[in-house]
Amino acid sequence: MSSLLDRVQKFFKSQKRRKILDYVGRYFIAAIAILFALYPVAWILSASLDPRNSMVNQKLIPDNATLDNFRDLLTNPVHPYMTWFWNTLKIATISAILTVFVGLLSAYAFSRFRFPGRRNLLLSVFLIQVFPNSLTMVATFLLIKAIGEFIPSMGLNSHGGLILIYLGGAMGINTWLMKGYLDSVPRDLDEAAKIDGASDWQIFWRVIVPLVRPIITVVALLSFIGSYADFLLPQILLQDTDKFTLAVGLTLFIRGGHYSQEWGVFAAGALIGAIPIIVIYLFLQDYLVSGLTAGAVKG
């Protein structure tokens, strides 16, 4: 009897030991991942506080840390940082709103209606997304230039033209993503609303939209981040300094070998520019996780 009890005790001790080792291993891996992610941010923060304003002999904890780089960034009339910041927020916000609206309408049509060519059109939209955007740069430039001859606010060197490109480029993948989520919403809700006399628009706006808020949040966030952080398209289309986005404007601090003169100011601008993305992630993280999970599993 005692030997049996000893075996049982050893078994539970081994199980407990395994759990402890499992927890320690998880926390160790998580700590390494966090350190790996935050280490570059720590160096950028260090550069922004370093009064030497140089990459040479930079330390993780700078001597005589100061906020002079932030002050120079916000008060320098040659480089209108706040104008770039506002331009970026405006373009990213409008692009996200329009992308969600148009993508949701398209996904609703593909998910709820049956019409000739529906499957072929879905496949065509998907295949277009297979080709990288870099292959279409020349065609995009010529197209926006042609549009600008008739509608200057949508042509070259305009924010409207940039938003138009973002809206068209995000249609395919967002339509597929939203359609997969809409397919998981029971059609019984549509039929019940029709019995009550609701139109297709009322079903869409009052029944479907409240149920798909997680995927709306995901698409809006992805569209916002993609537009906010994009560098290549604004660099090609925008020409005037006061129309630059943040990604393009910050390069003015480090062009022509100016790393040794304005590296700290550049780092300060990068830190301030990251604040909107961090705030959005913190407030929408629950919707983001649920939207990506449901959209990936169902559909």
CATH number at residue 111: 1.10.3720.10
Indicate whether 6 pLDDT > 70.
no
Is 18 in the same domain as 138? Answer: no
Is 145 in the same domain as 261? Answer: yes
Q: Which long-range contacts (CB under 8 A, 24 or more apart) does 275-283 make?
A: 276/89, 276/228, 277/225, 277/228, 277/229, 280/221, 280/224, 281/221
CB–CB of 160/153 below 8 Å?
yes
Is 168 in the same domain as 155? Answer: yes
Is 57 in the same domain as 85? Answer: no
Is 33 in the same domain as 171? Answer: no
Q: What phi, psi does 197 have (nearest 5°)? A: 95, 15
Is 48 in the same domain as 24? Answer: yes
Is 62 in the same domain as 93? Answer: no
Looking at 69, 98, 118, which one is the last position of a domain? 69
**This prediction's pTM:** 0.82
pLDDT at 296: 43
Looking at 69, 101, 118, which one is the last position of a domain? 69
| pLDDT tens figures, 14-49 | 666 667 667 777 888 988 988 888 888 888 888 888
Distances, alpha carbon 242 to alpha carbons 73, 151, 152, 228, 263, in Å: 15, 20, 17, 17, 21
Is 231 in the same domain as 84? Answer: yes
CB–CB of 104/178 below 8 Å?
yes
| pLDDT tens figures, 160-184 | 999 988 887 777 788 888 888 888 8
Is 283 in the same domain as 181? Answer: yes
Number of domains in the chain: 2
Is 130 in the same domain as 93? Answer: yes
Residue 189's domain spans which residues?
73-297
Is 228 in the same domain as 178? Answer: yes
Q: Read off the pLDDT band of 295 (50, 70, 90).
A: very low
Looking at 49, 69, 89, which one is the last position of a domain? 69
Q: What is the mean pLDDT of residues 254-258?
A: 62
Is 6 in the same domain as 131? Answer: no
